[in-house]
Amino acid sequence: MISALNPSDRQFLNNLNRLGTRMQTSQRQISTGVRLERVSDDPNQVARLLQVRTGLSSVAQTLTNLSRIKAEVDSGETSLQTAVELFERARTLAADGVTGTQTAANRSLIAHQVEGIIEQLVGLSGTSADGRFIFSGDSDQQIPYTIDWTQANPISGYLGTAATRTALHPAGNTFSLSHTAQEIFDSSDPATNVFGSLLSLRTALLANDEPAIQAVNNGLSKVGEYLNSQLAYYGLTQNRVSEATDFGQNLQLHLQAQLAGLQDADLTESILELNQSQTQQQASLQARAQMPRTTLFDYLG
């Protein structure tokens, strides 16, 4: 097939098409603010663009998770702070109860105050956040302990499970989130068992058994230190959540800047490109219009 256009005409039209494409691209970038919208806009940067978008999505989800985790950890820290204060109150009561001038009636009254502290501690073991019992381990829909003073052992056995949940740091590593109520209040070591020590104190007070009260009182210091260590664990976890959140927010800003560099249009450059293309198009059309045209009649004249 013989083209109806000579080489000069074809080159002119090809140049016009290229200018038209550049103008359309510039106009689209100016109107949308986006430079890389289609694969054809910059094929070499598409893989990197997708990688940055995936990273942003992952960081956003991690930050959402950390926000929920923060609420849980903050609740745990607050509950343990209250538990430490209650235990210190129990130590004061034990010191009052061991005094040799105390009567059986007074020790019975002190015992009832200790009962109230035990009930509050059992209640704190059932602290919940976002619909979860935070000290029940992975069985977070099950309250960890119940109490019934009509039973020989008023406090039930631990009803939860081990705590295996971890939090994902935006850097990719993980860290543990919580201890169970069993670890905190019902240690397997009698010397650090919060529930056990206070139940023993109550029993000794009700029995008006001064030597037994003294023995329990002597051990409360170690139990208090252990309970404070549990509080310290939650303080450390709060710091980890805070650091992870700060890291994630900084990473998010970094990725957003990368995305803008890859995707966003330089409006000044786009406007300049559009103006130049329009100028070139107008100049080409004017130059073409001024070119002499030879027809068959010129040869027959």
Structure token pair of residue 247: 């890291």
Does residue 53 lie within any of the structural domains?
yes
In a domain, 90, yes or no: yes
pLDDT, mean of residues 186-192: 97
Residue 26 has pLDDT above 60, yes or no: no
Cβ atoms of residues 198 and 91 within 8 Å: no
Distance CA 97, CA 210 (A): 8
What integer pLDDT is reported at residue 160 of this predicted model?
A: 97
Residue 270 lies in a domain: no
- DSSP for 6-55 reads -HHHHHHHHHHHHHHHHHHHHHHHHHH-BS--SGGG-GGGHHHHHHHHHH
Q: Which residues contact 110 (CB under 8 A, 6 or more apart)?
A: 93, 96, 97, 102, 205
pLDDT at residue 1, as a whole number = 46
The confidence score (pLDDT) of residue 257 equals: 85
Residue 27: the pLDDT is 53
- Asked, for residue 298, whether it belongs to a domain, the answer is no
| Amino acid present at 255 | L
**pLDDT of residue 217 exceeding 50:** yes
Is residue 112's pLDDT more than 50? yes
The predicted pLDDT at position 37 comes to 55
Note the pLDDT of residue 236. 97
Do the Cβ atoms of 74 and 235 come closer than 8 Å?
no
> Has residue 144 got a pLDDT over 80?
yes
Range with the poorest average pLDDT among 73-77, 138-142, 143-147, 256-260: 256-260
| Mean pLDDT for the chain overall | 84
**CA separation (Å) from 68 to 154, 224, 247?**
34, 30, 16
End-to-end, the C-alpha distance of the chain in Å comes to 31
Is 28 part of any domain?
A: no
Q: Is residue 271 part of a domain?
A: no
H helices, E strands: number in the chain: 8, 4
Of 27-41, 51-65, 78-92, 196-210, minimum mean pLDDT range = 27-41
Q: Is the pLDDT of residue 176 over 80?
A: yes
Q: pLDDT tens, 242-282?
A: 999 999 999 999 998 887 776 654 445 545 555 565 565 56
Domain with 159, as residue range(s), is 48-259
Counting the structural domains of the chain, the total is: 1
For 166, phi then psi, to 5°, come to: -130, 160
For the cut 90, the answer to whether the pLDDT of residue 29 exceeds it is no
CATH of residue 180's domain is 1.20.1330.10
Q: Is residue 158 part of a domain?
A: yes
For residue 114, pLDDT beyond 60: yes
- Is 184 part of a structural domain of the chain? yes
Q: What's the pLDDT band for 294 if we cut at 50, 70, 90? A: low
Give me the pLDDT at residue 2, please: 46
pLDDT attached to residue 277: 55
